[in-house]
Every structure is written in structure tokens, then in C-alpha cells.
Amino acid sequence: MLANCANEVCSRQLHSFTEGRLFQFEVVSISLAASDETAAPFDEKPVRETVHFWLCGRCAASFNLVLEPARGLKLVSISEETQHSGESSACSSNLMQS
């Protein structure tokens, strides 16, 4: 995970943490053994794991990483995020003026 840039198009090798951006996510998973016939569904405790991903400096200037529960790791353009946050700010300010 940390050996290369998380952007699959780039995949630049990690040489130093002084460049780029490190992302940390907590993943919660439940796995049931198929052969465990005595276990009731969902009786296993969730397993929490911390995972790390790195974007090189060039990719970190344009992208953020987001972990979506159903889809997994997603590369999101910073300009898209800025546009969406600007839209939500405009909506909330319009609501306040009403």
C-alpha cells in the first residue's frame, strides 16, 4: 500500500515521507467462516484495522483519497471537492437568507 502512489495511473515509488501526502483510514470488517455451522449469523465481533495510503506530491496537489464503505478507495479531484463544497455553501447561505 505504501510502496507506491495510490493513484494507479501514477504508481510512483515512495522514497520519503517528506514529499506527498499520507492518508490513514480505519476499516471495519466482519467475516464469517463458511465451515462454522454452529455460529449464528453476525455473531463475530467486527475487526478494526488501520490502513495507510500515500499520494506522491504531484498527485496530492490535484487529488484526495476517500474510502467509501461500498466501493472502497476512491481518488477524488480537489477541484470537484471545491466545487461541491462551494455548492453546499451557496445552498446553506440561500437557506439562511429565506
Q: What confidence tier does 91 reach under pLDDT thresholds 50, 70, 90?
A: very low
Nearest to 10 by CA among 52, 53, 70: 53
Does the residue 13 lie in any domain? no
- pLDDT tens column, 31-88: 655 555 665 665 667 788 899 999 999 999 999 999 988 888 999 999 876 655 554 4
Q: Which residues contact 20 (CB under 8 A, 6 or more apart)?
A: 5, 14, 54, 55, 56, 57, 59, 60
Does the residue 66 lie in any domain? yes
Give the length of the chain.
Answer: 98
Burial class (CB in 10 A: 0-12, 13-18, 19+), 63: buried
Cell readout for 49 is: 484495522
Does the residue 6 lie in any domain? no
Does the residue 85 lie in any domain? yes
Domain with 85, as residue range(s), is 21-97
Does the residue 12 lie in any domain? no
Report the number of distinct structural domains present in the chain. 1
